[in-house]
Amino acid sequence: MRVGPSLPAVLAVWCGLAAWLVCDFQRLGYYPGDVFLRAAAVAGGALGGTFLGAILQGERVARSRLWTTLVLGVVLPLVGAGIGLGATVAFGSSATSVLEEATFTGLVGGLAAIPGVALTARAAKRADRARPGSVIHEIERRAVWTLPAATLALGTVFAVRRNPYLLRMAHEDPAPALAIAVIATISLIITFAQEISAVRFSSRVAATASELRPREADALESQDAPQIDLGVGKQVLEQIQNGFSYRSAETISLIVRGDPALANAIARRAALRTAVALLVALGSMAVTAALAD
Residue type, position 285, single letter: M
* 177 inside domain: no
pLDDT at 228: 85
Query: Length of the chain, please?
Result: 293
Distance CA 238, CA 170 (A): 68
* 29 inside domain: yes
74, 102, 129 — which closes off a domain? 129
Give the total number of structural domains in the chain: 2
Could you list the residue range(s) of the whole structural domain that residue 20 is in?
Answer: 1-129
129, 158, 191 — which closes off a domain? 129
* 47 inside domain: yes
* 293 inside domain: no
- Give the rounded distance of the alpha carbon of 65 from its chain centre: 20
pLDDT at 1: 43
* 2 inside domain: yes
* 141 inside domain: no
81, 110, 129 — which closes off a domain? 129
pLDDT at 283: 93
- Counting Cβ atoms within 10 Å, is residue 221 exposed (0-12), middle (13-18) or buried (19+)? exposed
pLDDT in tens, the chain (293 residues): 455 678 899 999 998 888 888 878 777 766 666 667 778 788 888 988 898 888 888 888 878 888 888 888 888 888 777 776 766 665 555 566 666 766 777 777 777 778 888 888 888 888 888 888 899 999 999 999 999 999 999 888 888 887 666 556 555 677 888 899 999 999 999 999 999 999 999 998 888 877 777 766 555 555 567 788 888 888 888 777 665 545 455 676 678 888 889 999 999 999 999 999 999 999 998 888 887 66
Q: Edge-to-edge strand order for the sheet containing 251-257? A: 212-214, 236-241, 251-257, 227-229
pLDDT at 89: 65
Q: Which residues contact 274 (CB under 8 A, 6 or more apart)?
A: 142, 143, 146, 188, 191, 192, 195
pLDDT at 70: 84
